Structure 1
Amino acid sequence: MNVERVISIANVVNDDLSQIGLVQRLQELQNALANQINSPNEGNLQMVGQSRKEVMAALERSNFDYLPTTWRSSLEELGLTNRLGAGLASGLNDSFEASQSILTDVQSYVAVVQDDVSTIDEQLKAVASNLVAMGLKADHLEPGQAELSFLIPRDAIDNGLTKLAKEISFFDKAVRAFSEIEEGKPDAPELRQLSTTDPAIFALVGTGTVLAFLKIVKEIICVIEKSYKMREARASAIAAEMDTEIIEKMNAQIELAIEQGLENVTEMATRRLDSRVGRSKELKNAAKLYIGGLAARIDNGFQVDGSAVPSDEEKEEQMLDAEDERGHQITTSEEVNTISSEIRFAELPEESILRLAYDGEEEEGDQVGTEGA
């Protein structure tokens, strides 16, 4: 795990806990439960209900579940995944529902949770402080910078360096191709970090390219979600022992929907090439190739994320917009971060839905996106 990113995670989680006041809310819930246990009455019971609502409201305000998907392996390694955010909310609700009138059991559970959250808060502060004291700095983007990250499931590469190198190469070539489509020239992604728990690549890329790439990912996810619903309908038809001809027709419709869906993504991604000459045809072919490869990977557990920090010019635009009666105009950086949040909350099935092969399929485009590199 990259220590600079550990500092960033620690700082983000500490800030989040402070902003939502979770430790205090849990203590208030614990006190309310104690009051009702020691002196049962309607007023104290209402305070329990109110305190519980405030804890849940705090967890809903938490940004923990909005952290980059490519941080998830680090969060798991730090043991934080189910101890904060939605995981904690689910545990608290389960405790109330399971115990119902046995409030002493609920109080015991809340006490454990409150102590655990306090420990997390204190330990992360200590970790960040000690690492900074050693001369290390938190990982963060500078104004005007944008990052793409690409998480590779370890079982997809069988712990093999050759397969890992191939996936890094795919990511590099895809970014170069889409940067040329978006910006008019290929932009070589600059490696910022390489995490090894589940291999994750963090690379600096132009903000416009990051936005274009994330839009592609978002549309691919939509294709997967639509295809999943169609496969569910087919499974129901099979369970109902419907006619074989109907099942075969549904199979054909699924395949057609996937094909057309990815074609639509390619059209969206290459729209700005329509007025260009030269490498336009080559880039369209490359886009189709890389979108197919990217779709197959996302469908098999690969994850793509991105983030951006507004440039000084964007910040100035935001200030001017705040004074303008026409209202705020969204910046490229803001759009990057908005789409990233949407992608992070996409819940895709564990099994492959598109069932596309991706081993070696991008070799045809090896030379695309390399000009000017």
Structure 2
Amino acid sequence: MTSDTRIGPITLPDTRARRVVERLLEGSGVTLNGDAPQDIRVLHPDVFSRILHQGTLGLGETYMEGWWECERIDQMATRMLLHGLGQHARTPSEKLIYRLQSGFRNLQSRTRAYMVGEVHYDLGNDLFERMLDETMCYSCGYWKEADDLAAAQRAKLELACQKLDLRPGMRVLDIGCGWGSFAAHAARHHGVEVTGITISKEQAALARERCADLPVEILLQDYRDLDGLFDRIVSIGMFEHVGHRNYGTYFETIRRLMPSDGLFLLHTIGANRSQISADPWIHRYIFPNGTLPSAMHIARASEDHLMMEDWQNFGPDYDRTLMAWLANVDAHWHEIAPRYNERTRRMFRYYLSVCAGAFRARHLQLWQVVFSRGRAQRYDAPR
């Protein structure tokens, strides 16, 4: 059954799997075949067994396959997480497999580092140009005084520049530069020279085009292979791909590339608990080999290399950012539909919606952390 089949919800079979799912949903505010925006409309009788056997992987895959519908998946996810269903989201076997994989092999080694670029970021610049805004920022906007997505992204870029205390003539390194949004903003508005690195061929190509008239160099390179010295270093939305086995190497690399009076800004999604895990659906379809750091992970990995100067959390702003991206996908998908199938559209709708729900439930955070090498002068962080 495809998502294009225009039928209503089916009559639910009285099976053990269905009864277990209904029992798990009790009190969450999410019902099966209800009329509320967050309710799940079941379109395939096997959806219950798939979800129980595969957890979040089954939930996401069955949506991609058109087995169920929900008007507001973001609201569904928020209610489920606040109800405590996140604890049941991953099966014991899924947790064990990831722990074994991450324990016996480096999932984010040099040879595997480019996988996320090939799977996700190289999917198509035309898709991301329609999902994002004119800045091409693919990270959380700063909505404190912004009224639209582009303004929120420009505010985030400027906030990062101010925290780094950029001055004309400085050499700046952008680790995980994406489509060149920070590099272009910093070079254009603060007179600095920027070297940006990415592991995505498509990002590098478009970033070079977007920054062609600026003192910006874009490299297709792993952070571990960098040399040189940079007055300021920034990393926005890349640390999620580093992996716990490489945190120490990451911060050691930052220290090696930064002078004694330098500053480093880390912008990353954060997890509330210090667990080595990844959502199986996100791991397979969106960000392979990614894992989220906790505050303890960051503090422990950096303490031998850098001094923490400031820590800001504006996680709720990611909810609003993701919903803006979802609105863009819905509004502009028809422009690229001939190139992408319906399964891909549903994959992106599910990804953006459940992530928005997770930030709304405060199960995920967004941190900006400023580090130095222990310079003598006091650091006052702008807000």
TM-score by length of 2: 0.26
| Structure in which a larger fraction of residues adopt helix | 1
Which one has the largest radius of gyration?
A: 1
Under a length normalisation based on structure 1, what TM-score does the superposition of the two structures give? 0.26
Report 1 or 2 for greater relative contact order, CA contacts < 8 Å, sequence distance ≥ 6: 1
